[in-house]
Amino acid sequence: MAQIISGNEVSKQIQAETKVESEALRSKGVVPGLATVLVGEDPASQVYIGQKIKTCNKLGIESFHHHLSEKATESEILGLVQKLNNDPKVHGILCQLPLPKHIDSDKILVAISPNKDVDGFHLMNMGKLLSKKNAREISESGIYLPCTPHGIIQLLRRTGIPMAGAEAVIVGRSNIVGKPVALLLMAENATVTICHTGTKDLGEVCRRADILVAAIGKPKVVTADMVKNGVTVIDVGVNRIGKTPEGKDMLVGDVDFDGVKEKARAITPVPGGVGPMTIAMLMVNTVKAARLLSGVK
């Protein structure tokens, strides 16, 4: 039976460490500040923003929330981003995705100052990540790492899963998860394969994995016959497949958890796996930004 890798527990460790850092900055007159921007009324986005604000409050990070109408124009959002870029109380800026269809998300993300890009999606930060050869260089560079990929690395590291020399297979090639987690795993000396819709015989490739990261956005795509015994599985997917009798969302990952856990060495659940880590690493980046922008050590 697989070890269950609890993102809830690991994120609590990281949040406790981050709170200590936040309080140390406050004692020196620097209050870490995170600005969140929500455009529209997407229910899932509202939940995510609420979780981030709640965690800010718990860790001594000041939150500045801006909720714009679904009909907000691109120029209005860009104007708000520029205002936040210039606000010394704001150390990190997060624009909740997805944005309404009439908004060019890439244009908004690039408008955020790279020094306040606590999501780690700015082209400059992504480019810096690409240029680093190993984990030591990444750590010393001071760049903001994308939160979900960084959270995945922390889960593996803090639960003692060896990455150096491991064969890692990533199912999904998005800019948000697939590509950056591949770079981070390579920096840890794993040998990485990225799978996508053009991959021939996905199961054959997945069966090579010592570490399998599923980030394809489709429910239960990875089944027990697609993994080998002893694999470590990181399930990034959050798929809503209906409602419980109580009216709550029924959530499943990209992995058939019940089947795969019988063969895996370790596996993350959904919910309670990668999700909490994403918020934890956002807080880490915000406190890091406060330290770097203030010049206080």
Q: Which of 52, 179, 263, 288 is catalytic?
A: 52
Q: List b or e across 123-144, with b for residues whose CB sees 16 or more CB atoms inside 10 angstroms.
A: eebbebbeebeebeebeeeebb
* 96 a catalytic residue: yes
Cα distance between residue 203 and residue 215, in whole Å? 15
In DSSP notation, 191-241 reads EEEEE-TT-SSHHHHHTT-SEEEE-SSSTT-B-GGGS-TT-EEEE---EEE
Catalytic residue (choose from 96, 132, 210, 220): 96
Among 196, 197, 158, smallest CA distance to 178 is for: 196
Quick one: 164 exposed, middle or buried, by C-beta within 10 A (0-12, 13-18, 19+)?
Answer: exposed
In the 8-state DSSP scheme, what is residue 189? Answer: T
Distance, in Å, from the CA atom of 139 to the CA atom of 118, rounded to the nearest integer, reads: 15
Sheet harboring 33-39: ordered strands across?
62-68, 33-39, 92-95
Residue pointed to by tokens 């955020």:
112
- One-letter amino acid identity for 48? Y
CA pair distance 110, 29, nearest whole angstrom: 30
The active-site residue, picked from 116, 117, 119, 210, is 119
Closest CA to 60 of 290, 276, 292: 290
What amino acid positions are annotated as catalytic residues? 52, 96, 119
